[in-house]
Amino acid sequence: MSENRTIRIIVTRQDRPDTAPYEEEFVIPYRPNMNIISVLMEIRRNPVNAKGEKTTPVAWEMNCLEEVCGACSMVINGKPRQSCTALVDQLEQPIRLEPMRTFPVIRDLQVDRSRMFDSLKKVKAWIPIDGTYDLGPGPRMPERKRQWAYELSKCMTCGVCLEACPNVNSKSNFIGPAPLSQVRLFNAHPTGAMHKAERLEAIMGDGGLANCGNSQNCVQSCPKGIPLTTSIAALNRAATIQMFRNFFGSDEV
């Protein structure tokens, strides 16, 4: 691979949200230790495709460059992942870059992940602490539980789990694994638990928890190793209990 000293990349491009996608190939000089971001930067520096024609630079998103923001996610050689931590030396060539089509494509590799942020609002993935007066400090969280919850809090809303899920697509309104797992996180928090039922009601609505069909692709794909399917099963249990409470009545509100 290193003898020819070049890198071949095939990018699935799309000029506008409503135009048809097409493939464009690029050959760029090899440098050691490149990631996909530096490959795309090289194309941006010299936007000439493999046929030697001048073209537009490829559009993509990035921010943290250390796999904590999720913005740079794209499908690389068939698998959705972050382009900042995808190293060229570990990838088979030609490297194929595609946008995560589960989301609306804005341009080239850039997608609109708004639906994930809308879902987080829908499931109330926050802890309300504002009042008309000082509410004082909340209950303490046991250290063991904090460590456990920290794992769930690593989600960066990257969208990889939605891309991998066969039940998240244009035919369904399933919100996907990430926002569900956030419900488990916020319901585990001692102050957050005060709004547990509200969050459960939200995911027991249309497009919610029940749409999971257990393909378990999400847990295999999450770059942060979040135990998504354990979260979903735990929420299924909580929802079962909530369902009985709602129907038969309970003083737990």
Binding stretches for ligand FES (CB under 6 A): 62-65, 67-72, 82, 84
Q: Is 210 in the site for other proteins (CB under 8 A)?
A: yes
Q: For ligand HEM, which residue has the nearest CB?
A: 213
Q: Pick between residue 78 and residue 142 the one whose CB is nearest to other proteins.
A: 78
Residues forming the site for ligand HEM (CB under 6 A): 213-214
**Which among other proteins, ligand FES, ligand HEM, none contacts residue 71 (Cβ within 5 to 8 A by kind)?**
ligand FES
From the list ligand HEM, ligand SF4, other proteins, none, partner contacted by residue 28 (C-beta under 5 to 8 A by kind): none
- For position 236 contacting other proteins by CB under 8 A, the verdict is yes
User: Which of ligand SF4, other proteins, ligand HEM, none does residue 171 bind to, with CB < 5 to 8 Å depending on kind?
Assistant: other proteins
Q: Is 57 or 213 the residue whose CB approaches ligand HEM more closely?
A: 213
At 166, list the tokens: 């066969």
Cβ distance to ligand HEM smaller for residue 87 or 210: 210
Which of other proteins, ligand FES, ligand SF4, none does residue 131 bind (CB under 5 to 8 Å by kind)?
A: none
- Residue 86 or 222 having the CB closest to ligand SF4: 222
Q: Which residues contact 105 (CB under 8 A, 6 or more apart)?
A: 14, 17, 21, 99, 111, 112
Give the interface with ligand SF4 as residue ranges (CB under 6 A).
70, 155-161, 177-178, 181, 222-224, 226, 228
Q: Of 160, 47, 39, nearest to 88 (Cα)?
A: 39
Min CB(99)–ligand SF4 separation in Å: 16
Q: Does 10 bind other proteins (CB under 8 A)?
A: no
Long-range contacts of 16-20 (CB under 8 A, 24+ apart): 16/107, 17/104, 17/105, 17/106, 17/107
Residues 6+ apart with CB under 8 A from 92: 77
* Nearest distance from C-beta of residue 82 to ligand SF4, angstroms: 9
Q: Which is nearer to ligand FES, 74 or 232 (CB)?
A: 74
Q: Compute φ and ψ for 218, nearest 5 degrees.
A: -60, -50
The residue ranges that bind other proteins (CB under 8 A) are: 78-79, 164, 166-167, 169, 171-172, 204-211, 213-217, 220-221, 227, 229-230, 232-240, 243
